[in-house]
Each structure stands twice: as C-alpha cells, then as structure tokens.
Structure 1
C-alpha cells in the first residue's frame, strides 16, 4: 500500500487507497514439449523437458481482483462485515440492472406537468421589427417552430414521467431476468443435489450389503471353526474324562 487517505471535503466522507499489486511468485518447475531434432524422414522430433521459473516479485492485479467471482465474493464479504451492522443489504447477485444516477432520477420525477392552451392569437405571426413604413413579422415556418417549442416545453415533464415509467418497467424486466437466472441456477443445483443424494443412497446400500455379507462370512467361518477336526477331538477327549 502506497498511501491511504480519508477525505472529509465532500458531503459523504470517503477513503482513497493507492495500492501497488505486488505478488511474490514461488519458484516453479514446468514441463514443455520442445523440438530436439529431426528424424530420418525429416519430421521434427519432440521431447519433454523441464524448465525452472525462478520466481520473484511481479505486478499482478488479477491476484487482487481475480475476475467476476472474486469480485462478487469481495462484495458479499464487505456487506457481511461492514454493511450488515448499518442495516445495509447486499445487492442481488448476477443482477442485470444498470446504474441510473440520482440526479437523473429526481430530475425526472420533480418536474411539474403543465397543460397546453394555444390561443387563436398565438397562431398569428408575431411582430419581430416595427418600422416607419414597413414592419417585419414571423414567417409561417417561424410560427410553426415557436408553437412546437411551446408544446414540447409544456409536455416535457409528462414525457419525463413516461420515461420514468419506462425506466421502472425496464427495472422490473431486469429483476425478472435476474430471478429467471437464479431459478435456472437453483434448478441446476437441485439436480446436482438430487444426484448426490442418489449416489449417497447407492453407496449406503452397497456398504450395508457388504456388511451383511461380512456377517454371513463371519458366521460361516465360525461354524467351520467349531466343526473342525481339532475341536471335535478336543471335545471327545473332554467327554472321555
């Protein structure tokens, strides 16, 4: 770690850490197939040789980040260690949602909706420049642009709310996709669990069957031992006494 600083100059205090991802690599021996010559037919001859990696210290960001799964595990661990005691919940894993800024969200819902009323006088070309002999008025194209801008400005909040509704619907679809993905994972895990239980049951039956066979074998050996000639002679001598 190069430095670690807490910033209190903003509304939300935050910490900035600068880390150099130095990783110590151990000495390793690896095998490779290399060309050691050519045969009589001219084809290359290969052989397996060992090479030693001396190891040392190198830069490796993957050791800290480690791909998607390691980042998910990091977020889960952070939520359990830090967020949980403050009442914060971890986000949905494998979520398909996309980020929307707070400013954009509140900007959409706080703008009022206005009713548009176009008066007959608004359709008439307005005076642009008054002269002594002639005056300059709006052209038909300018009137159309002015009225269009007025309508768009008045209905902009309504359009924004419609976009908010669209955003909410998109959010719902994203959650549905996340749930479907989770259901697929659950089904897959359930099948694996059922297979594991079936395998465990078969193993238990095999062990039980083997135990029964061992008991039977033990009884047979015991019976043979009792009926052996030495035991019979011993019993006869004992009876003669």
Structure 2
C-alpha cells in the first residue's frame, strides 16, 4: 500500500518571494529539469479567487485582517507555513484524473477544517513534474487572532496531520496509509520529501557563453565587440530583469491592488447584504401581515444607517491612505533631488542560494521616489551595507550604481573635521 507524504516548512517574509515565483510558475528558467513547462497549464489552484495574487501580499493582507495581538510582529516572524502533500508515483498512476483531483481536494478540505479556510492563501496542485503534489500556503493564525506557527504546527499537530488526512482519504476509497512509526519508513518518507524539495529549488545560473562579448560589427581589419557595459546590460535583461519584474509587483499589490480589492469586496458585500436583508424582510411581511410594517420600516432605516456608516469608514480609510502618501512625499522632499533617491521597503536573507559559492545570499527591496519603480539588490555586500548603515524599513537611501549610501537631509549641515562648535 502506498504511503502518505506530508511535510511542513516555515516561511519568513523574504522567503515568500521565491516560493511565489516557483509555485505559481512565474518563470520558465527552472533549475529542476523534471519540470515540463509544456504541461504547466495542467496545474490548478483549489482556493477560489486566488488568481495568481502575490503570496507576500496575500499573507500580509490576511494578517492585517485577523491578527489581534497588541505587540508588533518581529521582522523575523514566521508569516506562513508551506504544507506539501503527495505520495509515490505508482499511486497516482493508478488514479483517474477525477480521482486524483478528489485526492488533493480531500486533503485541502482537511487543512481548511484544521486551520480555517480563510487562512489557506493558496493550494496549488503541480502536475508538470514527475509526481503530482499539492503546495498549500497557510497563515498560522489562531481563532483568537494570535500568529503562532510554533503552536499550530507543533509535534502534536504534525502527528495529527499525518494520521487524520490518510484516514479520511482511506474512508473515501483511496488505497493509502500513514507511514509506519519506525526508522526505516521515516527514512523513506524523508528521502521522498528531500527529493520533492530539491525539485522545488529555485536558482539563477548565468550561462558562461553569455559572458563572452558578442561581435557587433565586422570591419575589413578587425571586429567591433561589446563593451563590458553592454555585456552587463544584456545579462541584466536576460537574467535579472525577469526576477525584478516579478518582485516589483509587490508595490502594485500593496499600494494599488489592495485599495481596488477592498473597494470591490465592499461593493460585493453591500450588494449581498442588501439582497439578504431585503429578502428576510419580504418573507417576514408576507408571513405575518401588515401588522409588522412598522417593524420592517425600522429595520430598513437601520440597514440604511449601517450602509452609510460603512461608507463613511471606507472614505475615512481612503483619506488616511491619501494623507500617508502625502507625508511620505513630504519626507522625501527633505532629501533634495529624487533622481537616485529610494525608500527601503524590505531586506533580509534570500530564500535560496543565489551565490556561486553556495552561501545564502542577502537582498534589499527599494522603491524609487522618482517613479515608484521597485528595485531588488542581491549579494553578500548588501548585507554588509545594511548593517553598516543600520538601515531600517522606511529609511531613504541613494543608489549609485551598485553602491548604497544613506541619504542626507538637505537641512543637515555637513560635519567639519577639527574645531569645536561653541
């Protein structure tokens, strides 16, 4: 009988970037050779309305809605957990397409029952690799509004997942069981997990042939080849720009899409609420007669008052956001020219090994004050710079080539060496 595979990973904010690119197949440059891009169209999402929304944005939005803690979240807090569900290749080969979908749907429904449907940001099934598997992104919020992956995914909770999901699958006719509690089977499950995890690794490698300057023009006596700057520009266009293009969606998701989604959701909720309330009133009048007309009118007035209050709250939130943008613009004015002025949006360890030496890399996300474009810089030097400048999110910096320096306010006089101010 085939064994059930279930493994959990914890993700901090920065790690959600890489998971978003990989799980949602936002690049075709996969280091995993088992990914068949011609079959990626067979992948499907089980969460209604997900529509490729960036994981970082969706997770942040859910935390803002459900977190009730008084303390501000730490920068290194676990914001989401990834749950991978699968089995062996032979198990899926015996299933029809509909049975396979029911397998993952059953697992997804159990996660919704356990952690709350509203906390399942995404549940993506990959069919373009050797073995079908499900990636679920879960925000670890408790019912009382605490964010705690440590509690929701402790040893007891993980044991329950390994026991209960295969039990439910077996009740629905699937020939599968939980791995036996012994070292050999645990080793087999771990090896399977490591294989799938290796397939999910996202890396960026530059083809050595691309670094060779290309011939631009042949003359009678010699050849005109690319300058180092032209080579760098070509490599950036091929390797770096696809990544930065994906990461730059963060700014749009946070600053624009969030407002649009809130307005759209508000309109839908109001329409649904109005429809339901009027239907209840109609049937109440029909059942009890004209004696309840006054009660109906009072409820209508209450409903109208509620709608007006909610509209005022939305208008107030929109005004607050507008004022916040003005304050940010005011602060930026204190730093002079905006041509190379950037605001620090986020920084931290990269989710994958982008460096040739195999070491963990470091990233910083910057937003241009001049044109609102997002720029991402990677590398160990970035970490040294962030620590040296003691950067914080919201600080203003100057980007000169690949070098970062802290922006100086124009009213701050330059320090003079020697002497003493009296």
What TM-score, normalized by structure 1, do the two folds share? 0.28
Q: Which has the larger radius of gyration?
A: 1
Q: Indicate the structure whose relative CO is greater, using CA pairs within 8 Å and at least 6 residues apart.
A: 2
